[in-house]
């Protein structure tokens, strides 16, 4: 099996040992259709209190249904069909978010750059469409070090894509991916993912701010631990006056499946049991508080609300004019 940075995720990872699950994501999933050679830049901007927030589309990645190992195939196929999606392929958006407040310019995640196929890697075009140059970004928040969130830190092989930015990420996240002991216990096929995470942050040596627990990154921007998907995976709460937004990052990978079936983990989760617990807790809070949410993998531009539907949940996309 050939492993490279074009493939996605790490499969099942344990704290003491790492192993590939039966639903291993170490392969290139067949595309839904031939990608457009020159996709249009996608950016959607709205005002949240004092924050100007712009959703940036990095593109999409097609996930095989088998990457949801607990899913009943017949039930899942029916759910996808009901959502007018292919029955065995889950097309998944990859979104990043740009925040501006006064003179502050902050990017949340960077997309996949050019290393995960032509359907991804379009955050730079979105930034250009939004009128923001990479060297104007002061802070880059990395919610976790999976490639579709962090590969865009690099411009070429070893150069910083955001030369003037401080990188903010959680201490447990950086510790996990840079732990030689954990890497040594992993199959050699998995090592490129550790190497990629290390390479992504290498040009920013001396410019990395590590946070722990619930932490204010900047006024109105608070990181909240959401472990399970990765050990240091975080959510972000954006607040300005009475206006609030909860960026749930990778709590959801498929809106068509995981709101209704929050117990269906994805094979990329480091700790699937913990990821399920985190997902249920976050969705319950968002539904109870009627919060506006944004997701890294919700259909672009990724904003909406969570409804409570018995023991499960529903997703209600926000209407763009109302944002």
Q: 60 is in which domain, residue-wise? A: 43-322
In this prediction, residue 40 carries a pLDDT of: 66
Instruction: Give the Å distances, CA to CA, from 199 to 145, 147, 202.
Output: 11, 11, 5
In this prediction, residue 116 carries a pLDDT of: 82
CB within 8 A of 131, min separation 6: which ones?
none
Tokens of 30: 């067949």
Q: Give dist(CA 75, CA 82) in Å, integer.
A: 11
| Residue carrying structure tokens 């990188």 | 167
pTM of the model: 0.88
- pLDDT 10s per residue in the chain (323 long)? 222 223 333 443 433 333 333 333 333 333 334 444 556 678 899 999 999 999 999 999 999 999 999 999 999 999 999 999 998 889 899 999 999 999 899 999 999 998 888 889 999 999 999 999 999 999 999 999 999 999 999 998 789 999 999 999 999 999 999 999 999 998 888 788 899 999 999 999 999 999 999 999 999 999 999 999 999 999 999 999 999 999 999 999 999 999 999 999 999 899 999 999 999 999 999 999 999 999 999 999 999 999 999 989 999 999 876 67
Q: Is residue 142 part of a domain?
A: yes
Q: Is residue 30 part of a domain?
A: no
Question: Closest Cα to residue 169, out of 223, 247, 248, 237?
Answer: 223
In this prediction, residue 226 carries a pLDDT of: 98
In this prediction, residue 158 carries a pLDDT of: 85
CATH number of the domain residue 117 falls in: 3.60.15.10
In this prediction, residue 8 carries a pLDDT of: 35
In this prediction, residue 322 carries a pLDDT of: 67
Dihedral of CA atoms 305, 125, 27, 81 in degrees, nearest 10, equals 40
Say if residue 89 is exposed, middle or buried (CB neighbours under 10 Å; 0-12, 13-18, 19+).
Answer: middle
In this prediction, residue 39 carries a pLDDT of: 60
Kind and range of the H or E run holding 69? none
- Please give the full DSSP string across 236-263, using - where no structure is assigned: EEEEETTEEEEE-GGG-S-HHHHTT-TT
In this prediction, residue 12 carries a pLDDT of: 35
| Residue carrying structure tokens 């790492």 | 18
Q: Is residue 128 part of a domain?
A: yes
Q: Is residue 151 part of a domain?
A: yes
Q: Is residue 314 part of a domain?
A: yes
Provide the domain count of the chain. Answer: 1
Q: Is residue 12 part of a domain?
A: no
Q: Is residue 25 part of a domain?
A: no
In this prediction, residue 37 carries a pLDDT of: 52
Say if residue 32 is exposed, middle or buried (CB neighbours under 10 Å; 0-12, 13-18, 19+).
Answer: middle
Q: Is residue 17 part of a domain?
A: no
Residues pairing with 104 in the sheet: 101
Greatest pairwise CA separation for the chain in angstroms: 52
Residues pairing with 51 in the sheet: 48
Question: Closest Cα to residue 286, out of 314, 323, 257, 253?
Answer: 314
| Residue carrying structure tokens 């170490």 | 26
């Amino acid at each position: 099996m050939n492993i490279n940075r074009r493939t996605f995720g790490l499969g099942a990872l344990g704290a003491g040992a790492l192993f590939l699950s039966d639903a291993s994501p170490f392969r290139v999933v067949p595309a839904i259709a031939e990608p457009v050679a020159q996709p249009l830049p996608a950016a959607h901007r709205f005002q949240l209190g004092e924050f100007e927030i712009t959703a940036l589309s990095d593109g999409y990645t097609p996930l095989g249904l088998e990457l949801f190992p607990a899913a009943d195939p017949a039930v899942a196929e029916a759910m996808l069909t009901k959502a007018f999606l292919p029955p065995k392929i889950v097309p998944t958006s990859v979104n990043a978010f740009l925040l501006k407040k006064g003179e502050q310019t902050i990017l949340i995640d960077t997309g996949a750059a050019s290393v995960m196929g032509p359907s991804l890697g379009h955050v730079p075009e979105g930034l250009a469409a939004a009128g923001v140059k990479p060297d104007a970004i002061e802070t880059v928040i990395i919610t976790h070090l999976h490639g579709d969130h962090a590969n865009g830190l690099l411009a070429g092989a070893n150069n910083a894509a955001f030369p003037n930015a401080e990188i903010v990420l959680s201490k447990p996240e950086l510790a996990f991916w840079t732990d030689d002991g954990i890497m040594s216990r992993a199959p050699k096929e998995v090592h490129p993912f550790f190497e990629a995470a290390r390479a992504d942050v290498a040009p920013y040596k001396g410019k990395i701010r590590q946070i722990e627990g619930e932490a204010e990154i900047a006024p109105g921007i608070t990181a909240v631990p959401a472990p399970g998907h990765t050990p240091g995976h975080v959510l972000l709460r954006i607040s300005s006056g009475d206006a609030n937004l909860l960026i749930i990052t990778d709590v959801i990978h498929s809106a068509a499946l995981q709101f209704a079936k929050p117990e269906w983990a994805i094979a990329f989760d480091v700790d699937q049991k913990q990821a399920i617990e985190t997902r249920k807790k976050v969705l319950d809070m968002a539904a109870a508080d009627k919060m506006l949410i944004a997701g890294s993998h919700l259909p672009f531009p990724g904003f909406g609300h969570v409804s409570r539907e018995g023991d499960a949940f529903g997703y209600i996309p926000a209407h763009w004019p109302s944002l």
